[in-house]
Amino acid sequence: MSSILLVEDDPMQRDLISRILQRSGYEVWLAFDGMEAVSLASAHYPDIILMDALLPIMNGLDATRQLKKQPNTMHIPVIMLTAYVLIDALVAKTYGCDDFELKPINFSTLLAKIVRLSRPTMATELSA
């Protein structure tokens, strides 16, 4: 089972997204701010991180930048989630994000991105 770290501070969004991911067969870990995201990713090495851009304590862009600088987490794909119109795919990529999804989330698109980004990890596991 693939694991996803969902980093979302809005309780309603967090609940909706996590339930859809769990129903799609993913193990979901939850973080509420960027600092917690860095800590959980460093401890558990999820297959994918879904990172909200605007978070308390440490925003999602800075958390992603920090994760991409650490050798043990730099390989984990990060999909930036945001409703903030000034953050686009180009901005997200400059911080190290591997993909980008606007809110409200199109879950078909998001799930396809998760599958595409997790394929190298799954291929590695299958060959081991």
Q: Give domain limits for the chain.
A: 3-127
CB 97 within 8 A of CB 66: no
pLDDT at 88: 72
| Mean pLDDT for the chain overall | 90
Residue 119 has a pLDDT of: 67
Task: Report residue 1's pLDDT band, with 50, 70 and 90 as the boundaries.
Answer: confident
**128 pLDDT tier (thresholds 50, 70, 90):** very low
Quickly name the fold that domain 3-127 has.
Rossmann fold (3.40.50)
pLDDT score, position 98? 94
Tell me the per-residue pLDDT of 52-73, one tens digit each, with 9 for 90 and over: 999 999 999 999 999 999 999 9
pLDDT, tens digit (0-9, with 9 covering 90-100), for 70-82: 999 999 999 999 8
**pLDDT class for 123, splitting at 50, 70, 90?**
very low
